[in-house]
Structures are given as C-alpha cells and as structure tokens.
Amino acid sequence: MSTPERSKPLATVEQVKAQTLHWLEQAVIGLNLCPFAKAVHKRAQLRLVVSTAKHLDGFLDELDAELALLQHTPASEVDTTLLVHPGLFPDFLEFNDFLNIVDDIVLEHGLEGVIQVAPFHPEFLFGGEDEADMSHYTNRAPFPMLHLLREDSLSQAIDAHGDTDAIPERNKAVLRDLGLEGWRKLMRMSD
C-alpha cells in the first residue's frame, strides 16, 4: 500500500476540528445516527485529535499513543477518541486496506475486545450497495478518521438503549429520505 506523503495538511487543524465537530453535531447527533454520541459529547468525554503526521509511521505512532491513553485513562475522563487525518488517506480503498494494520495494532496492544475501531471516510463505501446509495453516508465524514470506542462503554450504552438491531436500517432510511442535497445543506457551515 502506498500512501501519498503530504507536505502540509489540506486544512488547518482548527478548520478540521470545526468541520468534524459540525459533522458530529449535525449528522451523528442531529440525525441521531448514533444514539450514544450525544451523552458522551455533552459530558465532554470525547477526545478529538487531528493528526498532522507527514507519513504513515507518524500517524501509527499517534494511534499507539491514543490507544495507550484510552487504556490508562478512566472512561469518565475520556470515553472515546476521534483520530482524524485530513490528508494522509485520500483514497478510500487504501484507507480500507489500512484498517487491517489498525486491527493488528489493537491486537499488539492487547486491546482486542477492549477497544473497537470504527472507520469513517469522505468516500466510504459499503460492499454490495449501489455507489450512489445514501447508506454510505452513515460512515462518511469530512475527513478520514478512526473512532476508538471502549467496548465496555458501548455495551453499557446498548444495554441502556435497548434494541439496537434496528439502528442501521433506521439510519439508512433517514439518510435516503434526506438525500444528497439535504446532506450537503446539513454539512454546510455558516461563516
């Protein structure tokens, strides 16, 4: 896998944070795509890290650091982390292949069953779905990112929420109803 090196990020760290928080608040929380996100965000237990690593090795070092932080920090302080890189993974298929390395790193840290990684990418595609289907937008974000979730926290949220099996189909229906123009309008940030 060859990941292009970037001499500078496509956007400033502040812009990446602002756009990511806008996506989180408008889409993930606003459309209730993840019914667990609102409480974590409200309690300020979500850590948003924007990587400016110029090479894959630097990004992997940051992933190592974030996994260690979650392992050694109480969930009441940091429950989940969004690790974002605005320029290192422009191609979704390469990003998708990179997720195998991420899985290996979680294993190396002894965190299988402790930390789960959910991927997001501006061009995310689910296999078996028409490329134009809005269902892909459940995992589309302004920038490539890894969402590092604690399995215990996720289990507690699922237990408190009740039936979660309907969430994926509900999300697809919400996004299909919203449509591409509705998504674009939702993602527009006012100046």
Across-strand partners of 117? 148
Q: In the chain, pLDDT over 70 holds for what percent of residues?
A: 94
170 is written with which tokens? 């509900």
Across-strand partners of 108? none
For 85-131, the pLDDT digits (tens) are: 999 999 999 999 999 999 999 999 999 999 999 999 999 999 988 99
Do residues 89 and 121 lie in contact, with contact meaning Cβ atoms separated by under 8 Å?
A: yes
For 124-151, the pLDDT digits (tens) are: 999 988 999 999 999 999 999 999 999 9
Nearest Cα neighbor of 79 from 33, 36, 122 is 36
pTM for this one?
0.90
Sheet (strand 115-120) strand order: 46-50, 80-84, 145-150, 115-120
